[in-house]
Structure 1
């Protein structure tokens, strides 16, 4: 499955999502590594099979093996970190914000690709997972690496669109599987 196949499987009522997927694929403010890595990381974070297969197939033609691994690693590490840091932020007892997390996060320091690209993947996944604390941390890192507001916003838009596509695909699959 490819991006075009994924878009063709979306129902007519999701035309805006089809258009947004196309626009994001044609986005020139990000490199292909940044763009398709964000798409793949977001799709992995959500895990909906049709979206994941379509975006992984598309990313395989655009990303190195290292970038493919890094996108999946961003999804994996943010799946843990987003839950932990969102909980630390939401718990009323501020003590939890002062103690070490005691969670392994080695991939963040050595992702195997440019640090800024990995941070952008992590930002997109953090948007999907809704962790404000992580969004702030990754946005600050991206600024340190010289990314612009428009580039950071593109990463956020990718996470939002991939999330919406995956949710619609899951809903349509559920409807088709249900007996009439």
Structure 2
């Protein structure tokens, strides 16, 4: 089942979300690797298995195996990092910010695809997870690499819609 078909199973009160999925699938602000990689990373980041299955089906012939693996890896490493770095940011004790994380995250340095694309996937998942430190960190890398605000916004729009799709589907299935 494609993502558009999956979104079509959402109830009528989520019509805007259904329409947004279709619009984002047709949008051209992101190249295909960035667009479909972000969809796949965000599906995995949602933790909602039916959405992951639909995104995997949608992206199967649109992403290289390396890009699909990088999207999955971005979701997984952000699941860990967003919790850790959100804690260091929110904790009243500033001492945690100066302590080494001691968490393995080598995939960030060697994702197997263009690092900028991996950073975009990571930013989108970080937006879903609400980690301000990670959002700022990934956005700074992207801006330094010359990525426009429109591209960054495009990825975050995908994250917002994918989060909504997963939330509505989980509540209604």
* Max Rg structure: 1
**TM superposition score normalised by structure 2:** 0.98
Structure-to-structure mapping, 1:8-47, within 5 angstroms: 8-47=8-47
Correspondence for 1:107: 107
Kept in 1, the 8 Å contact 2:126–2:135? The answer is: yes
Q: Distance in 2 between matches of 1:78 and 1:155?
A: 15
Structure 1: which 5+ runs fail to align?
174-180
Secondary structure of 1:53's aligned partner:
helix
Worse-matched range after superposition: 64-73 or 92-101: 92-101
**TM superposition score normalised by structure 1:** 0.94
Correspondence for 1:128: 128
Q: Distance in 1 between matches of 2:105 and 2:162?
A: 25
Correspondence for 1:71: 71
Worse-matched range after superposition: 5-14 or 162-171: 5-14
Q: Distance in 1 between matches of 2:156 and 2:163?
A: 11
Correspondence for 1:52: 52
Give the CA deviation at 1:111: 0.2
Residue deviations 1:114-133 (CA, integer Å, cap 9, x gap): 01100000001001111000
Q: Distance in 1 between matches of 2:145 and 2:120?
A: 11
Correspondence for 1:160: 160
Secondary structure of 2:99's aligned partner:
coil
Q: Which runs of 4+ in 1 moved over 4 A?
A: none
Kept in 1, the 8 Å contact 2:74–2:122? The answer is: yes
Q: Distance in 1 between matches of 2:94 and 2:80?
A: 20
Say how many residue pairs are matched.
Answer: 173
Q: Residue 97 in 1 paired to residue 65 in 2? A: no
Give the CA deviation at 1:53: 1.1
Q: Distance in 2 between matches of 1:52 and 1:62?
A: 15
Give the CA deviation at 1:12: 1.2
Give the CA deviation at 1:24: 0.8
Give the CA deviation at 1:63: 0.3
Q: Distance in 2 between matches of 1:4 and 1:94?
A: 45
Question: Alignment RMSD, CA only?
Answer: 0.8
